[in-house]
Each structure stands twice: as structure tokens, then as C-alpha cells.
Amino acid sequence: MKAFVFPGQGAQFPGMGKDLYDNNPKAKELFDKANEILGFEITKIMFEGTPEELKQTNVTQPAVFLHSVISAICAGEKAQYDMVGGHSLGEFSALVAAGALSFEDGLKLVSQRAQAMQKACEAAPSTMAAIIGLDDETIEKICAEVSTPDNIVVPANYNNPGQLVISGTNEAIAAACEALKAAGAKRAMPLPVGGAFHSPLMQPAKDELQAAIEATTFQTPKCPVYQNVDAKAHTDADEIKQNLIAQLTAPVRWTYEVQAMIADGATDFTECGPGKALQGMIAKIAKGNDAVSIHGLEA
């Protein structure tokens, strides 16, 4: 069975999508429509912008979404899949690919999500850190021990065995990194991000996005969508909505999501969108399973 997976924030690169725009009339049509929906020329930033310009949250999230979704649409018959999933932001791309969301509604929600998250970041100084070489249970235990009501730190991204990203206030992240290194972590690296994504500090963004998601029409997807909050397959439109709302303050259980896809029969994973980050993660999750193939989409 084939699984299509979609990357999240951080996969962007200068020039992304220009080849699609220049060589595929359908892609050009969708990119031009995106400029109208967003109210600014995101294509100019994607095709000609600097890495710094692309790192602006209101640009990054729609840019990665557009590259991913338009790549899948333009792949035509090559984009045949039995299940989909996405990492954080990539879940929105997966929902459009599965037909649960329209292209237009998906882009609007992603834009609103980016703006809401940016506001939440500005309201509470916070960050994230990648922990390498320690088991999930130890990280969870230490985060719980370090956290206080005023300085929280929580597991945020379960990327693959041996790599977990934590999220919280600056003070709590610093304390957790020290404790995790003392517990045997090979590395505990603060990340160059301006907020504590997938943590309770994103509650204001969740509240803002919840209203937008509840006002958006979701359809029954044409294939199961594996969601970050519980790492399970979903086909009920109302369940999908509630999981998408919960996603902003809940951890991304990517390791367990991919394991669930494999358990349900996935043997062929295709990363659809910029970069190769998910291919690397899946290779580590499926390590030793020779039945699983992993590659990127050539749109």
C-alpha cells in the first residue's frame, strides 16, 4: 500500500516551486490563485526571496503548503495513494490531498494558523530544542520534573526513535537541556525558532484557529488520514476537525503515526513537498523493515 506524507515548517528553500510554475499550466493557475487568496505575491518570495524572507512565519507555512499540495496535484496519476499523513503543518496538505479540504480553504486556514502562531510567539518568549540519543520515556519524565506552572517544557515532536523535540519557555528549555544531557542525551540543541510550538503556550493560537476551523466545511476524505495528535487513521470529518484544532497545543506523534501506517499495510512512502526531512525520519522509524521503500515525489 502507498502512503503520501507531507512536510512541515523548516522544509522551505529559495526558488521553491518555480519549476512547477514555469512548466505546468495547472501549477501556474494554482499559484496565481494563491496570490489572490493571500493578498500578496507569495510566489515572488518563494521564487526570488532570500532565506530570511522565507523564514517569516506568514510566508513559510503557506509556501510549504503550496509547494506540497501543488506538487501532488500536478503529479497526476503518479499521485495515487491509499493513505496520507503530514508532519505538523503538513497535516493540512495531507487533508487537501485526501479531499477533506478544498485547496482554497486549506490555504486560508494555513495562513490564519501562521498569523495566530506568530502572535502567540510574540506574547510569550519561548523556544524549542532537539534532544538526540535518549529514549522518549526519559525525556517525558525529565520534562515533567523540570516544568512548573510558570515555566513549562513538554515533548513536542516525536520525530523518530532517538530524536525528540521539546518545547517551552526559554528558562525551562535551558533547564531541561542540562538535565537531559546529564541523563545521557548525546545532544540537546536549542533550535532557531521564535516560539514553543505544539505546547500549551500555543493556546491563544489554538483559540483563534478553532473558530476558523469550525467555520470551514470538511468533507469525508477519499482515503484514511493519519493525524498527529493520536497517530491514528481518521475518515470522519468531525473527528478530523477536532484533531486539527487540538494539534496546535498537542505533540506531533510522528514516530507512532508512521508505525501505525506500516502496521496498517504501508510499504511505499512518498514525501510530497520541499526537502527530504520526512524520508530521513521514516528510514529511522522503519529501520530493519526491508519491505518498506521511501522516496520523494518527482512531480
Query: Catalytic amino acids?
Result: 88, 198
Distances (CA, A) of 155 to 158, 196, 280: 7, 10, 20
**DSSP H helical ranges for the chain:** 18-23, 25-38, 42-48, 51-54, 57-74, 90-97, 103-123, 136-146, 170-182, 203-214, 237-246, 254-263, 277-285
- Please state, in angstroms and rounded to a whole number, the distance separating the CA atoms of residues 185 and 188: 7
- Contact criterion met (CB below 8 Å) for 279 and 271: yes
- Please state, in angstroms and rounded to a whole number, the distance separating the CA atoms of residues 174 and 153: 10
Classify 199 in phi/psi space as left (phi over 0), alpha (psi -120 to 50) or beta: beta
